[in-house]
Structure 1
Amino acid sequence: MSDTIIKQSLKVLDANKSLHNGYIVDEQGKEVPITTAMVRTVCHQLLKQCRNIKN
């Protein structure tokens, strides 16, 4: 997936401001909201892993 496609996808996600809340539970059992930044970070990590597998 090219960086251009990723950037275009992020613009679409940012433009779509529908509210969906998701939470994870930390070590102390507290709910922590899942942020857009968290999702982006994980997506970038997965993309890097996929590129490493291809090479």
Structure 2
Amino acid sequence: MSKVVIQKSLKVLDRKVTHNGYIVDEQGKETQITTAMVSAVCQQLLKQCRTIQK
């Protein structure tokens, strides 16, 4: 196998799969959903669930 083929194959293996999500507001502006946003919402939901169980 040539060095060129090996190098190209390694570049393909190095690519990371990313998943991006966006929120679109009423004006059509896109805002990327971040890990911090998801974490904050999860914490809020957990707090609400704990409140309901009491």
Which category describes the TM-score, using the shorter chain as reference length?
0.5 to 0.7
Taking only the aligned residue pairs, the percentage that are identical comes to 74
TM-score using structure 2 length: 0.65
Unaligned 5+ runs, structure 1: 1-16
**Hey, which bits of structure 1, 4+ residues long, moved more than 6 A?**
none
Cα RMSD between the aligned structures? 1.5
**CA 1:19–1:53: 2 relative to 1, 3 Å:** same
TM-score using structure 1 length: 0.64
Q: How many equivalent residue pairs?
A: 39
Q: Radius of gyration: which is bigger? A: 2
